[in-house]
Structure 1
């Protein structure tokens, strides 16, 4: 299965929040048994949230380096991604960042592992995660 990992999954792992144990199991299942993906918007959101949460630069750098060290394919946006993200944003009333992540899933025919219920609104993709 080809799975795009949403920022919410990474953040649950980094923050060790209330979903941590289930998120960790889901995450390592993707790494070990599926083809995993992440995109530039994930990295942007991770840095922004960690910085806003007042983590220091070393912690943030370590987390970004960790993500890039994983056996995941890194997706970068092109014109088609941005045009699809605008359609998704308008159709499903999502934020721009969620729309870009969703556009990667739609165009690349990926499922999304997420803790964000907004992705379940999008009929063109299958969103799943920790319930």
Structure 2
């Protein structure tokens, strides 16, 4: 298995960052073949997902929907970021996706997103290739 790690720097508590280009660059460095890659963040208050990349309003809508899913309640976890842990669990901290000729096999309107839920922070994302 081969891997490539890159950093995502966020500037807000909740932010959705398009990372498709970074993932594609990592894949290009790792392989020119085909197979399945896994994109992972080792943090517990962020997530990785695929969604539409053509309309930036989708990102705003997703943030608003996530906020509505987890209302401001009193959590027992004392750090003040329990909502971020919960949402990260629902969305997931990894994504498995096929690639061919070293490129993700995304649909026309799809992009890979890093979803920050407890920023701003500097986060790591690793692309793993197992051919």
TM-score (ref. length: structure 1)? 0.23
TM-score (ref. length: structure 2)? 0.23
Higher share of residues assigned strand = 2
Between structure 1 and structure 2, the one with the greater Rg is: 2
Higher share of residues assigned helix = 1
